[in-house]
Homo-oligomer: A and B are copies of this chain.
Amino acid sequence: MKKHILIVPGDGIGQEVTAVGKQVLDRIAEKFNHEFTYDEALIGHVAIEATGDPLPEETLVKMRASDAILFGAVGHPKYDNDPSAKVRPEQGLLKMRKELGLYANLRPIKLFDELLEASSIKADILRGADILFFRELTGDVYFGKRERLEDGNTAYDTMIYHKYEVERIARKAFEAARTRSKKLMSVDKANVLESSRLWREVIQKLAPEYPDVEVEHQFIDAAAMLLIKDPRRFDVVVTGNLFGDILTDEASQIAGSMGMLASASVGDSTGVYEPIHGSAHDITGKGVANPLASVLSAALMLDISFGLKAESEAIIAAVDGVLKDGFRTRDIADTTTDASKILGTDAMGAELLKRL
C-alpha cells in the first residue's frame, strides 16, 4: 500500500513523541511491504513564531494533500498566563478540526494489564475496563459565537448544537456500539441546558433505528462521578465537545496515565491521529516524555484510515511486549519498577522497534 503521511509535531513534547511515532510507522512499512512517504508542517506556537499564524495556509494545503496526519500537541504557557492574547496556539488546532471537518473524536480507553497498578484507582475496580469515547469535535461552545462586551467586564461564549451535528456523531457511536457490547451511554446536561435537550432528543429519535443497542442517558456531573466509581459500567460513550474534553481527560486515569492514550479525529476527509496529552512544557526537551500515546496513535491510523488491521495489532503487541518486559517511562513507573528499566523517550522507542 502507498500512503502519504503528514507529521505535524506542534509544540512542546509533540516533536519528541511524533519522532518515535514516525519511526514505528517506518518499521511497519518495511516489515509489511508498504510505501509510506512523509512530509512535515507547523501548527500552534511554533507556527506563530515562524509565520504569525497558528495554522498557516501551507500547513492546511499539506494536510488536505495527505492520506493521514500524525499530530503532536499544541499549547504554550506564555498564552495561558495572558488571557488577553489575540493570537493563540489553540486557534490552530480548532481551525484544523473545523477546516478538515473532523467532527468525530474517538478516544479509546484501554488498560494494558501491566499498568493495572499505575493508576490511582484500585486495580479491582479497573480490571477489564474498556471504553470507547465519541467526542463531538466541531460544534458546541468551542465554535459558537464568543465576545467580550465593550466595557470589557462581560464575556460570553455560545454553547450551540444543530441537529445534524448530533446525528452524525451519534450514528458513528451507535454503529460502534453494535460491534461491541451493544450499550451506548449518552452524556449531557439536559436538566439545565437547551442544547443538551436537543442532544438528548436526537439520540432518542435515532434509537429505534438501532433496536439492538441499549441506550442510557447520564448527566455530565453524574457521569464524571460514575467514571471513577465504576468504570466498567462504561462501554461506548457519546458526548458533546466540552463534556467530552473533560470526561476523556478524567478517563485517562483509568489507563494509568495520559501518556498511554491515543485518539483519532475523523469526519469528512483526512484523519488526524494524536495523543490525548498536551504539550507538557514542564518536561519538554528533557527526553523523558512517554512516546506510547503517539505510537498508539499511529496504530489507530493504520487501522482506521488505512484499514491495516494486522499492522495496527503488531504495534499494540509491541507496546504490550515492552510493558511485559518491565520497561516504563517515568509517568507509568511505580515503586516496584526496576530503576534500570525506567527509560527516556528514545530508549523506549528503541525497545519498541526491537519488538517489531
Contact = CB atoms under 8 A, between A and B. Distances in A.
Interface stretch (A11-19, A26-34, A250-258): A250-258
Contacts of A221: 245-246, 248-250
A1 interface: no
A88 interface: yes
B159 A141 contact: yes
A189 B135 CA distance: 17
One complex includes copies of this chain to the number of: 2
B156 A163 contact: no
A120 interface: yes
A249 B230 contact: no
A220 B158 CA distance: 18
Contact of A121 (B122, B163, B258): B122
B201 A220 contact: no
Contacts of A94: 192
Nearest to A222: B249
Interface string A258-271: 10000000000000
Given A83-B201, A197-B84, A192 B90 contact: yes
Given A83-B200, A192-B90, A156 B160 contact: yes
A147 B217 contact: no
Interface residues of A, number: 66
A222 B280 CA distance: 11
A195 interface: yes
A148 interface: yes
A142 B159 CA distance: 11
Nearest to A195: B155
Interface in A104-121: 120-121
Interface in A140-170: 141-142, 144, 146-148, 152-164
A198 interface: yes
Nearest to A154: B162
Contacts of A230: 120
B224 A194 contact: no
A193 interface: yes
Contacts of A36: none
A258 B225 contact: yes
A256 to B, nearest CB: 10
A234 interface: no
Contacts of A347: none
A148 to B, nearest CB: 6
Interface string A204-217: 10000000000001
A59 B250 CA distance: 39
A196 B221 CA distance: 19
Interface of A: 75, 79-81, 83-84, 88, 90, 94, 120-122, 125, 141-142, 144, 146-148, 152-164, 189-198, 200-201, 204, 217, 220-222, 224-225, 227-230, 242, 245-250, 252-253, 258, 278
Nearest 4 A/B pairs, CB to CB: A83-B197, A155-B198, A221-B249, A156-B160
